[in-house]
Amino acid sequence: MYLITVFGNVLIILAVISDSHLHTPMYFFLSNLSFVDICFTSTTVPKMLVNIQTRSKAITYEGCITQMFFFLLFAGLDNFLLSVMAYDRFVAICHPLHYMVIMNPQLCALLVLMCWLTVVSLFYFSVIGVYLSSAATHSSHSIARASVMYAVVTPMLNPFIYSLRNKDIKASYR
C-alpha cells in the first residue's frame, strides 16, 4: 500500500510537471496535494513497517515527537489543500469567465503558502490541547485501525480518485 501511494502520487506530480496542458491552478493544487500525501505517509509508514518486521514497538522520545510534528503538519496541510482545491472549483464553476483572472499564478502560490505558515501555527495550538486534555478511553486496536485508514488508505486512494476519473491526467499518462 505504501509503494502504491508513493508511486501513484509521483505519477501525478510527473504528469503535471511534464504536460503543459496541466499547468492550470487545479493541477498545481493537485500536484501539491500529491507531494503532501507522499510526505504524510512517509512520516509513519516506514517506521510502522520496521516495527512489524522486527516485532518491536520501541521509539525514542525524540523520534516520537519528530514523527508527531511532521504527521500533524502534513495532515493539516492535506486538509487545507483540499479546502483550497474546493475554492478553486467554486471559482471555476461560479465565475468561469473570470477564472483565469481570479486564480492567477500569484494567488495560487499565495494560497499554498498560506496552507503551510496556518498549519504550523495550528500545530502548536493542537499540541497544547493534547497536553491539557485527559487520556482517551478508546481501545488501542480501534485507534490503530482508524490510524491506518487515514494515514495509509486515504493517501493511497487519492491518486486513483484524482487521476483515473480525470481525462486530462489519463491523456497525459498516455
Residue 38: CATH number of its domain: 1.20.1070.10
Beta strands in the chain (DSSP E): none
CA–CA dist 170, 155 (Å, integer): 19
Task: List, for residues 84-103, the tens digit of each pLDDT value.
Answer: 999 999 999 999 999 999 99
CA–CA dist 146, 150 (Å, integer): 7
pLDDT at position 69 is 87
pLDDT at position 139 is 59
Q: CA distances (Å), 140 to each of 46, 63, 137, 147, in order? A: 20, 20, 9, 10
pLDDT classification of 174: cutoffs 50, 70, 90: confident
pLDDT at position 134 is 47
Q: Does pLDDT of 155 surpass 60?
A: yes
pLDDT at position 97 is 93
Domain residues for 15?
Answer: 2-173
Q: Please compute, for residue 170, the number of CA atoms within 13 A of its CA located in the half-sphere on the CB side.
A: 7
Task: List, for residues 98-151, the tens digit of each pLDDT value.
Answer: 999 999 989 988 988 888 767 666 655 655 555 555 445 455 666 666 666 666
Selected residue with higher pLDDT from 125 and 35? 35
Mark residue 139 as left, alpha or beta (left: phi above 0; alpha: psi -120 to 50; beta: remaining). Answer: beta
Q: How far apart are the first and last CA of the chain?
A: 24
The cell for 47 is 517506521
Angle at 106 between CA 102 and CA 108, to 5 degrees: 70
